Amino acid sequence: MLRTIEIPWGHGTKSFCLPEDRVAWVVTPKASPAVPDEAEEIRRAMRQPIGCAPIPEQIGDPKGKKIAIVVDDNTRVTPVNRILPVVVNELNCYGITDEQITVIIALGSHRYMTEDEIRTRVGEECFRRLRVISHEYDDPEQLVYCGTTIFSTPVYINRAFVESDFGMCIGNIIPHFVAGWSGGAKSIQPGISGKETTACVHLNSSLDWPTRFGNPDNDIRLDMEDIAAKAGLKFIINTVLNLDEQIVHVVGGEPVAAHRQGVAYAREVYQEDLTVRPDVVIVSSYPANRDLWQANKSIAAACMCVKEHGTVIAAAPCYEGAYSEHPDVMALGDTGPEEVFRMCSEGEFSDVVGATGFISAGVMRRMADIILVTEGLDQATAEALGYTYAPSLEAAIELAQNKQKGGVATFGVLTHGADLAPRIIE
C-alpha cells in the first residue's frame, strides 16, 4: 500500500508516495492552539518580564531617551508586523514618543530588503510612524567597537543600537543547528553585528556544528549572549509559533532568562525524540526557502537523524540560487571543509562569513549523500558544489532507493525542516 505525504514547497506544497511499510516516521511541528488574544499576550510579556524589572523601571524618566528595537528581516517567519505595533503602543503608554524610537532591521549579512518588503515587514502603521533603518554589517561608519568576549571574539555592533538608551529585540524561537535555538541574542549576533564579529563566530562554529544542534547552552550561544550584553541588549520579546504561524507563546524580559523559558515552550512544538535512523530522510527546507545558504538549516536537521552515510533528499526551492549574498563562495566548488577552514583562518579567502556556510554544508555532505530537488539551481551548479541533483521528488526517491541493497529503503520525513529539532534516542 502506498502512502501519500505532503510537504511545504515555497508558498505551496508538493506531494509524493512511499510504501506504507517503508515509512519509519513523519515528523511535523506539533499542533498547538494559538493564544486567544495576541496583543494581550504581548502586553502581558512586556508587563510581567522574566528575570528583570519592567521596562518603565529600567528606563526611568522617559524624556529624551532613545529606544532601539531590533526586528528580524524577511528570511524569518517572526510576525513582526503583528508584534511591533503592540510594542510601540505599549512604549507610548510608558511616555516614549514615536520620535524616540528607531527600528533596526537585523539583516546580518543578508541582502537589503526593498521598500515594499520593509513596509510589509514592519506594517504600514509602523512604517509611517517610526524611523526604520537597515543594518549594514560591512560599513565601519555604522559600527561601534564594544570590546572582546569571553571567547576572544571582537565585538562590533550597529551604532544606532549602541548609542540608544534602551535596546530591545523582537524575534522568534525555532531550532538552529549552530545557536541551538534561534531568538534571544541571535538578533544581535549576527543580526546587527559587524562583519569581523560575524566572521569570527561563524568560523568558530562551522566545522563542529553537530555538537551544538538543539543545545541552547552551547559555547557559540554563550558567545552570542556575551556579544549581546556588550552591545547593551536589555530586553527581548520572543514568540513561539504553530504551523499556521499563529502565536502560541510570548516571552519577554532579560535576554538569557526569557530566551531559555521560550526554548522550553518551543521544545513542546518543534522537538521530537526518535528511535530509528532510516536509510533516507526527505526534508522540506520550509521556511528557509530563499537560497541554499538558508536551506542548509533543514539539511542539518535531516543529517542529524538519517543513518550514517545515508541519503538526504532536500526539497529546497532556493529561489535566489545557492549563495546569492556570497557569490565568491561558488568558486570553492566541492573543496573539503577543513581546507576551506584553513583558507579562512590564514586569510586566503576574503568572504569568511560566506565560506563558513560552505564549511558547515561540507560537513553535512560527509554525513549523508544529499540529493537536491530545487528550482533555483541547475544540475551543473548543484553537482559542482558536491550535491546530487534530481529534477523531482519522485526521481530523487528512485535514486535513493537504488543505492540500497535490493532497491529497498526505509524513509523518514521532516515536513518543516528548518523548524524541527529531531533527536535520536539510541
| Cell numbers that stand for 126 in this block | 509602523
- Show which of 239, 269, 299 is a domain's final residue: 269
Please report, as a single letter, which amino acid is at residue 394.
E
Domain CATH code at residue 78: 3.40.50.11440
Peptide bond just before 190 cis, omega within 30 deg: yes
At 326 the pLDDT is 86
Question: What percent of the chain has pLDDT above 70?
Answer: 100
Q: Are residues 220 and 307 in the same domain?
A: no
At 334 the pLDDT is 84
Q: Are residues 351 and 214 in the same domain?
A: no
Exposure on the CB side of residue 23, measured as CA atoms within 13 A: 16
Which residues, other chains included, contact 172 with Cβ-Cβ below 8 Å and sequence gap of 6+?
72, 76, 77, 78, 79, 182, 183, 238, 239, 240, 241
Q: Are residues 47 and 194 in the same domain?
A: yes
Q: Are residues 181 and 212 in the same domain?
A: yes
pTM score, whole prediction:
0.93
Interior angle at CA 78, CA 77 and CA 82, nearest 5: 120
Q: Among 135-139, 158-162, 224-228, 325-329, which is the least confidently predicted range?
A: 325-329
Complete edge-to-edge strand list for the sheet that includes strand 166-172: 131-134, 101-106, 67-72, 166-172, 233-241, 247-253
At 405 the pLDDT is 80
The DSSP secondary structure of 319-363, one letter per residue, reads: TT-SSTT-GGGGGGTT--HHHHHHHHHTT--S-HHHHHHHHHHHH
Contact between 155 and 149 (Cβ < 8 Å):
yes
Q: Are residues 405 and 378 in the same domain?
A: yes
Q: Are residues 181 and 243 in the same domain?
A: yes
At 11 the pLDDT is 87
Residues 9, 13, 17, 21, Cα dihedral to 10°: 80
pLDDT, averaged across the chain: 95
Could you read off the pLDDT of 362-397 as tens digits, one per residue?
999 999 999 999 999 999 999 999 999 999 999 999
Could you read off the pLDDT of 105-149 as tens digits, one per residue?
999 888 888 999 999 999 999 999 999 999 999 899 999 999 999
Distance between CA atoms of residues 76 and 192, nearest Å: 15
Q: Are residues 135 and 235 in the same domain?
A: yes
Q: Are strands 166-172 and 233-241 parallel, antiparallel or unpaired?
A: parallel
Domain CATH code at residue 417: 3.90.226.30
Could you read off the pLDDT of 68-119 as tens digits, one per residue?
999 999 888 899 999 999 999 999 999 999 999 999 999 988 888 899 999 9
At 285 the pLDDT is 96
* Residue 245 Rama label (left phi>0; alpha psi -120 to 50; beta): left
Range of the domain at 63: 38-269
Q: Are residues 283 and 402 in the same domain?
A: yes
Name the H helices within 124-275: 124-129, 159-162, 195-206, 219-231, 255-270
Quick check: 290 pLDDT over 80? yes
- Show which of 229, 254, 269 is a domain's final residue: 269
At 111 the pLDDT is 82
Question: What percent of the chain has pLDDT above 90?
Answer: 89
Could you read off the pLDDT of 45-66 as tens digits, one per residue?
999 999 999 999 999 999 999 9
Q: Are residues 308 and 218 in the same domain?
A: no
Name the H helices within 94-149: 115-122, 124-129
Total number of domains in the chain: 2
- Give SS3 for 227: helix
Could you read off the pLDDT of 2-23 as tens digits, one per residue?
999 999 998 899 999 999 999 9
Q: Are residues 311 and 220 in the same domain?
A: no
- Show which of 269, 296, 327 is a domain's final residue: 269
Q: Are residues 247 and 368 in the same domain?
A: no
Quick check: 176 pLDDT over 80? yes
Quick check: 426 pLDDT over 80? no
Q: Are residues 256 and 363 in the same domain?
A: no
Residues 244, 245, 248, 253, Cα dihedral to 10°: 180
